[in-house]
Amino acid sequence: MSDKRTVDFIKIINYTYGDVQIAGYRKDDFGWLAHYNGRPAGVIEFGVLPTRKKAFYGVAKSLVTGKDRDFVYVQPQI
């Protein structure tokens, strides 16, 4: 099987910015579950300062609504 990419292949990264709520987080590595208008919008993995992470986890403990194998879910208030 041959590689379908050519020399003309261009990778474009398209960041979109918006105000979202954090509805949960990964247990094993960093990642926040983002909701936009009450619907899942993706996972925030990059660009979060360590001070913001620390502040979030300090508050998130009191907002936990459930857990599964991979995620801890919180009330989407942040």
Residue by residue, DSSP assigns 12-65 as ---------EEEEEESSS--EEEEETTEEEEEE-SS--HHHHHHHHHHHGGGEE
The pLDDT tens digits of the residues spanning 18-44 come to 899 999 999 999 999 999 999 999 999
Instruction: Give me the mean pLDDT over the 51-66 stretch.
Output: 95
pLDDT at position 11 = 77
Query: If pLDDT is split at 50, 70 and 90, which confidence band does 12 have?
Result: confident
Asked if residues 72 and 24 have their Cβ atoms less than 8 Å apart, the reply is yes
